């Protein structure tokens, strides 16, 4: 009878023991998830010899200096759109000529008037369901 009671107690504690072991793996709030030890540790003496430093800027930059400070400047919204949606706003979709941004409209009232003038009400239009992907 005593052996049956021990088995029941042991099996009833298994979920609690599992949760306790799982909770030990959760990092503290606002703590880094990755820790480096040995040569990769931040204060290791030989770290500079094995870890690559920041990339050196090219001295042969263009006339506008884009290549010279490409590592330090944030990405423009045109470059972000090109990266995410594969839309190149620097090229005309009709003739392929180079376009230049002369301004950006951010005022909601002006945007509403432009959309109204174009015959668009600004609401999302219904669209067809996506087509099946073919590999």
How many structural domains does the chain have?
1
The mean pLDDT value for 95-99 works out to 89
Residue 111, both tokens: 């945007």
Is there a domain that residue 95 lies in? yes
The pTM score is 0.32
| pLDDT tens string 42-63 | 888 888 888 777 655 545 544 4
Is there a domain that residue 97 lies in? yes
Residue 11 per-residue DSSP state:
H
Is there a domain that residue 35 lies in? no
In 10 A of CB 33, how many CB atoms? 5
Instruction: Determine the pLDDT at residue 107.
Output: 92
Q: Is the pLDDT of residue 1 over 80?
A: no
Is there a domain that residue 34 lies in? no
The mean pLDDT value for 8-36 works out to 76
Range of the domain at 99: 77-117
Instruction: For residues 122 and 27, give the distance between their C-alpha atoms in angstroms, rounded to a whole number.
Output: 45
Instruction: Determine the pLDDT at residue 37.
Output: 78
Is there a domain that residue 93 lies in? yes
Is there a domain that residue 88 lies in? yes
Is there a domain that residue 110 lies in? yes
Instruction: For residues 44 and 35, give the distance between their C-alpha atoms in angstroms, rounded to a whole number.
Output: 13
């Amino acid at each position: 009878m005593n052996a049956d009671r021990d088995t029941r107690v042991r099996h009833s504690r298994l979920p609690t023991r599992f949760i306790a072991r799982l909770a030990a793996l959760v990092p503290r709030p606002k703590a880094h998830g990755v820790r480096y030890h040995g040569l990769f540790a931040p204060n290791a003496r030989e770290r500079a010899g094995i870890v690559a430093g920041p990339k050196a800027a090219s001295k042969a930059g263009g006339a506008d200096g884009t290549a010279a400070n490409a590592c330090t400047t944030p990405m423009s919204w045109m470059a972000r759109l090109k990266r995410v949606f594969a839309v190149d706003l620097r090229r005309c979709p009709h003739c392929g000529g180079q376009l230049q941004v002369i301004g950006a409209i951010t005022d909601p009232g002006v945007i509403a008037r432009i959309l109204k003038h174009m015959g668009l009400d600004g609401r999302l239009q219904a669209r067809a369901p996506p087509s099946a992907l073919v590999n």
